[in-house]
């Protein structure tokens, strides 16, 4: 589950790099002419590059996650724990109707796990050494089932589609704001000037952060569904036990750009901060499982 924030960060970076490159190539001048905007051309441009940025992020998500965490894929099990991990993921993948994911372990003292990949039949599931050391077998099994459920539900594909739509509007409105500032503040009536370029880049960053509220809402919703999927695969009691175990441990030692990918996300904060949380509070998830298992 270490996927959401890395996907967002990579997506914003790609969006900004693409925007700067296209400005250098003079592409913006195609829809900013004589101080006016060709809105139809701008919308087409925004859709192509907005969706493109999201799906590039998705395409490299496995590679990005491995690089960020140092996760090592188990090619040939070297001990009983690795053999058990491979066998457990294989059984759960068959039960969920997906292809066998890559299985990896990464070094971290915290209890965490993640799944990512652009194809539900070619995904990556990784667990931390801290999770293996601090959880019992049933709890680890539940966490793995949670990640398998994310893959089976196609959450990363859906996230890419949502992010692509969000990107489209970010690019579209950022350039409208840039054009307005260029014309009204900088009094430039002869096409895109420095005011347009600087303002639209700043607006893209700001709008991207604000738009992440939508993506995070989706992420929180999918966490409940992945918990329910785990309950179906291994039983609600095991998933509840895993979440309760997470309540007793630390989950904050991940790099800031990766914290939202953990099985539990960040600790609760102020109400406004919860808008940017990728995970619901652990207690809410436990109560949801208890209600559905009655």
> Looking at 137, 139, 141, 147, which residue is catalytic?
147
DSSP E strand stretches across the chain: 32-33, 36-37, 72-73, 102-106, 113-116, 124-128
| DSSP H or E stretch at residue 293 | none
Active site residue 102: no
Residue carrying the six token digits 């999201």: 54
**Sign of the four-CA dihedral 156, 262, 289, 163:** negative
Positive or negative torsion for Cα 261, 262, 263, 265 = negative
Non-local (6+) Cβ contacts of 150 within 8 A are 1, 3, 115, 156, 222, 226, 229
CA distance 163 to 11: 8
Q: Residue 194 and residue 173: Cα distance in Å, rounded? A: 17
Bridge partners of 106, per DSSP, are: 128
Residue whose structure tokens are 């799944």: 115
Cite the DSSP H helix spans in 76-154: 80-96, 129-134, 137-152
Active-site residue set: 147
């Amino acid at each position: 589950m270490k996927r959401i924030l890395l996907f967002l960060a990579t997506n914003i970076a790609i969006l900004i790099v693409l925007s700067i490159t296209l400005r250098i190539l003079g592409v913006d001048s195609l829809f900013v002419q004589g101080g006016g905007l060709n809105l139809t051309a701008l919308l087409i441009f925004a859709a192509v590059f907005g969706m493109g940025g999201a799906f590039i992020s998705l395409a490299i998500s496995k590679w990005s996650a491995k690089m960020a965490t140092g996760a090592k894929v188990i090619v040939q099990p070297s001990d009983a724990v690795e053999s058990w991990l491979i066998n457990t993921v294989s059984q759960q993948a068959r039960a969920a109707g997906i292809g066998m994911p890559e299985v990896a372990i990464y070094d971290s003292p915290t209890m965490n796990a993640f799944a990512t990949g652009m194809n539900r039949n070619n995904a990556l599931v990784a667990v931390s050494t801290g999770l293996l050391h601090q959880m019992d077998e049933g709890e680890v099994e539940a966490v793995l089932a949670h990640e398998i459920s994310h893959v089976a539900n196609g959450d990363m594909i859906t996230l890419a589609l949502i992010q692509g739509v969000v990107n489209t509007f970010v690019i579209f409105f950022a350039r409208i704001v840039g054009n307005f500032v260029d014309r009204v503040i900088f009094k430039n009536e002869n096409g895109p000037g420095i005011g347009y370029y600087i303002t639209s880049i700043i607006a893209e960053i700001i709008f991207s952060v604000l738009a992440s509220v939508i993506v995070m809402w989706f992420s929180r919703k999918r966490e409940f569904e992945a918990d329910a999927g785990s309950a179906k695969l291994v039983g609600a009691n095991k998933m509840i036990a895993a979440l309760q175990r997470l309540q007793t441990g630390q989950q904050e030692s991940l790099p800031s750009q990766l914290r939202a990918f953990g099985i539990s996300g960040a600790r609760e904060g102020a109400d406004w901060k919860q808008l940017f949380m990728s995970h619901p509070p652990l207690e809410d998830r436990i109560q949801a499982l208890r209600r559905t298992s009655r």
